[in-house]
Structure 1
Amino acid sequence: MVTHGYAEAVPAKELARVDGFVWYVPHHGVYHPKKPGKLRVVFDCSASYKRESLKSHLLQGSDLTNNGDMDKEVIEYRIAVHLFGATSSPSVAIFTLMKTAEDNELEFGSDAAKFVKNDFYVDVGLKSVPTAAEALQLINSSKAMCMKGGFKLHKFLSNSRDTGSHQSRRNGKKYQEFKSQQGLTAH
């Protein structure tokens, strides 16, 4: 988390605050069996203290401190990115997605930018295009654009067999998988 800029050490001069502007958000790690080596940190923004919680103040719209060595000095960290699971999370996600499209339109094209800006609801995009070639171009450019903003697009569905894809079943659902021009599979 620290090496990727998602959290940062709190400067020593800010540790001894007496103004009451400190809030510790309970969190825990979750591992996904299909993503070995990746830890997803889940924050409880609803946790309350004296009937107050971080979530109630937001508008809607492995061991990281000492690696298990109890003799090492504890380093306090603070989150440097948005906490998901908060009341404001959907609005922040949509804003960030739109800003990513706006910032990268020149590099990836207006079709990808329009798709990301106009055809998404939170994290689901829906678009119909006339040809399989246009669909694959839109997928590739949109995926690349979104990666610039830290978003990974996946789970593309199609009713066209001309996409060079194949169908598979996952959890009882039929998915259409696309082979991108780079030879990667997006699903």
Structure 2
Amino acid sequence: MVQIKSLEKRLSKDSVLYKRYAHTIQDNPDKGYVIKVESRDDKHCAGREWYLPHHPVVNPNKPEKVRSLLNGPSKFQGVSLNSVLLTDPDLMQRLIQTLMRFRQHQFAVSANIEGMFLQVGVLPAEQSVLRFLWREDPSRNIEVYQYTRQIFGAKDSPTCANYALLRTARDNNSHFPEAAQAVSQKFYMDDYLDSTESPSIVQKTSRDLIELLNRGGFKLTKFISNVPGLLEELEDKSVEQAPK
């Protein structure tokens, strides 16, 4: 209760932020990322519950986009969610290796997986430890919500998301061998960075990579490339053309 009232006090000082954050909270159930837990609803609880404080996070470059960050390190009676979660193994590529491959050849492409954590499901038996409280109107009753996906703020989310990404590549390696290799070597978390000696290779790998990731529920977007015509071919409205 103390945490939710503190959040409401903070949001009451910025009506624009309050409105955008409320929209983010309301949008998550519509996308299937969150479910509302009705009172005395035992079907969404596996015998243990954990309630996480949360707050808005704003990217200075995209002030209109507000993300909800759950406070995994927050402690109750000396225990936090993150203190009981495992993080190994580290499945991320080393950043220096990813950047060196990106600078290796003349023709380059980059892209981003949209909402990567939120595309990876959490087992129903584990979801009840990802609960949070919210009410859009302070005069109303507080409601309980529960995440069904990996959250921002839990220390195991990067490992779980990376495993799902790599497993998608492995499961589809026979159909898309080059794209599967790109997933294992040319991603740094949700960012794809690649370069090749041929525009045709960039085009084929990009097309295959989109289809491969779609099979795992991931959407590759925000393409940037110096390959002429690539962005138009991919028909992504959010892409940007890199300067020549």
TM-score grouping bracket, smaller chain normalisation = 0.5 to 0.7
Q: Any stretches of 5+ residues in structure 2 without a counterpart?
A: 1-27, 89-132
1:100 aligns with 2:171: no
The unaligned stretches of length 5 or more in structure 1 are 166-177
Runs of 4 or more above 6 Å deviation: none
Q: Which gives a bigger RCO, structure 1 or 2 (Cα 8 Å, sep 6+)?
A: 2
Q: What does the per-residue CA deviation read over 1:78-111, in whole Å, with 9 as the maximum and x for residues that have no partner?
A: 11111233221221121011133245557x7222
Query: What is the alpha-carbon distance in structure 2 between the residues aligned to residue 150 and residue 122 of structure 1?
Result: 13
Paired residue type of 1:23: W
Aligned residues: 164
When residues 145 and 29 of structure 1 are mapped into structure 2, their CA distance, relative to the original with a 3 A threshold, is: farther
Whole-Å Cα distance in 2 between the matches of residues 122 and 85 of structure 1? 15
Q: 1:164 is matched by which residue type in structure 2?
A: P
Report the equivalent of 2:48: 21
Residue 6 in structure 1 maps to residue 75 in structure 2: no
Going from structure 1 to structure 2, the CA distance change for 1:36 and 1:80 (only over 3 Å counts) comes to: same
1:164 Cα shift?
1.2
Match runs of 1:46-125 below 5 Å: 46-61=73-88, 65-68=134-137, 70-71=139-140, 73-103=141-171, 109-125=176-192
The Cα shift of 1:5 comes to 1.0
2:234 aligned partner? 182
Q: Kindly provide the amino acid, as one letter, of the partner of residue 21 in structure 1.
A: R
Match of 2:124 in 1: none
Question: 1:183, 1:115 → 2: CA distance?
Answer: 21
Q: Which residue identity is paired with 2:32? A: G
Any idea what the Cα deviations from partners look like across 1:151-171, whole Å, max 9, x if unmatched? Answer: 4454656xxx6x117xxxxxx
- Residues 1:164 and 2:232 aligned together: no
User: Which amino acid letter does the alignment assign opposite residue 67 of structure 1?
Assistant: E
Cα distance in structure 2, aligned partners of 1:79 and 1:136: 37
Q: CA deviation at 1:180?
A: 4.3
Q: Secondary structure at the match of 1:116?
A: helix
Tell me the TM-score normalised to structure 2 length: 0.54
Q: Distance in 2 between matches of 1:104 and 1:2?
A: 30
**143-152 or 20-29: bigger deviation:** 143-152
**TM-score, scaled relative to structure 1:** 0.68
Return the letter of the residue paired with 1:10: V
Matched, 1:133 2:197: no
Q: Distance in 1 between matches of 2:220 and 2:179?
A: 14
CA RMSD of aligned residues (A): 3.3
Q: Counterpart of 1:82 in 2: which secondary structure? A: coil
The aligned counterpart of 2:210 is 143
